[in-house]
A and B are shown apart, each in its own frame.
Chain A
Amino acid sequence: MLTTPSDTEIVMMREFDAPPELVWKAWTTPELVSRWWPGKRGTMRTCEIDLRVGGRWRYVMEAGEGGYEVAFHGEYREIVEAEKLVNTEVFEGAPPEAGAALNTNTFEALEGGRTRLTMVTAVDSIQVRDMIIGTGMETGAQEGLDIIDEIVAELTADGRASAAR
């Protein structure tokens, strides 16, 4: 589930059928991250994790078959094992002035050995722009921000109404 409390904050929430310790392990162990982080979009080429405050991480994915490389890196700011991980994130295709996003991930134990992960990404719009250009992400997505769809619908309706007046 995705929400956007502000233009520069994106919040994703997801529950997993595993306790926080295991989700944490899957989130911070390079060989495990390599298996899920590319999703369906490619293969992990590099997965470096130096899990210390001030330590760095770097993920490099090859998109598609023999495609282009997509690389991200950052620094760990706060580490509370199996509870909270705060890190910066820089997309390497962006110019330096784009700055870094700040990710705050919290791992919350639920009943029945489950975990709720909340991922807050505070991202500069300029960086978002550069990510789009840099990663060549396709647009025209179908799902997503229903709220903006609604606004668009309302506005076009308003526009028609005011044009009719």
Chain B
Amino acid sequence: MARAATTADVFNAVAEPRRREILDLLMQGERPVNEIVAQLELGQPQVSKHLKVLREVGLVDARDLGRMRVYRVNGRGLKPIHDWVSNYERTWSERFDALDVVLEELKEKEARDDES
């Protein structure tokens, strides 16, 4: 199944630890660039570069607050990651259920072996 390139880009975007730090910080509330710089102890150019990537993939958006530009997380952009994790969980739940069946048989076999 082909998927939109932007979806892949979301994973690329969060693959960078610094960008995850920025996302974590913005999860707590919207912030202007200088506050992100101060809190993460990163250089302004770096932060701006990371914000640009995050905005391009739709994980972060910006709005004007008075004379300030503030950045915030766009939760909908996280959906592909959420979907993948959900799918992963379902896959393993199915495996574990099948493993339960295998284990029941192993236990029965052991019980029989003990009797003989």
Contacts and interface: CB of A to CB of B under 8 A. Distances in A.
Interface in A134-165: 136-145, 148-149, 151-156, 158-159, 162
Interface string B40-79: 0000000000000000000000010000000011111011
Contacts of B102: 26, 32, 35-36
Contacts of B27: 151
Contacts of A145: 82, 85-86
Contacts of B92: 2, 12, 14, 119
A125 B91 contact: no
B84 A12 contact: no
Nearest to A151: B75
Given A16-B96, A140-B83, A162-B63, 9 more contacts: A10-B88, A14-B92, A22-B107, A22-B110, A23-B103, A41-B94, A151-B73, A155-B76, A159-B72
Interface of A: 2, 4, 6-7, 10, 12, 14, 16-18, 22-23, 25-27, 32, 35-41, 119, 124-126, 128-129, 131-133, 136-145, 148-149, 151-156, 158-159, 162
9 contacts: A2-B89, A12-B92, A18-B103, A40-B98, A129-B12, A132-B8, A132-B84, A148-B75, A151-B73
